[in-house]
Amino acid sequence: MSRLWIGLPLALCLGLVACQKHPSPVGTWEGRLVVPSLPGNASREAIEANKTRTGASQFLKVPLTVSPNGTFTTTRMLLVPVDGKWRQEGAKVFFEPTMVLGAEPGLFEKGPAKAAAQPFTGVLSADGKELILEEAGDEKLTFSRT
């Protein structure tokens, strides 16, 4: 009987952890570019470039609409409209473009449209209020719900 009292709560705790539900990305979002600070020993050129990127990031707002039917709409590379499909695995959200500038992504061989056609991944915060894209480089595109 004492084994039952020990085993039952343990099984319930393990079951709750295994069944933990992550927030849904469905909704409208607004993204902002977050430029990291430079180390104190950064070159003068790097500091000036960082100031320019930081200043520009204040005006950059990226819309993202994630629909319950598994589709999304956004802009990438500043002004390139992108539509596609999304799926969620835990806290990660995978975005697969299906239309870029109104055409299939495979049609673009170079430039901003080719870059915008690449799949991208975001990570939802535990409270579901932020979605941070995992992209190359130090800068992060962070979305907040609108």
Looking up residue 27, the CATH number of its domain turns out to be 2.40.128
Tokens of 106: 């495979």
61 found inside a domain: yes
Rounded to whole angstroms, the Cα distance separating 120 from 96 reads 7
Grouping H, G, I as helix, E, B as strand and the rest as coil, residue 15 is helix
- 47-64: per-residue pLDDT in tens? 787 777 666 666 678 899
Q: If phi over 0 gives left and psi between -120 and 50 gives alpha, with beta otherwise, what is residue 78? A: left
Q: What is the pTM of this model?
A: 0.75
13 found inside a domain: no
9 found inside a domain: no
Cα–Cα separations (whole angstroms), residue 123 to 24, 92, 127: 11, 5, 11
3 found inside a domain: no
5 found inside a domain: no
114 found inside a domain: yes
Domain count, the chain: 1
Cα–Cα separations (whole angstroms), residue 110 to 5, 42, 49, 102, 139: 64, 32, 25, 16, 22
Rounded to whole angstroms, the Cα distance separating 141 from 30 reads 10
Mean model confidence pLDDT for the chain: 81
127 found inside a domain: yes
- 22-46: per-residue pLDDT in tens? 899 999 999 988 777 777 788 888 7
Instruction: Give the domain extent around 60.
Output: 22-145
- Residues whose CB is less than 8 angstroms from the CB of residue 20 and which lie 6 or more positions away in sequence, other chains included: none
7 found inside a domain: no
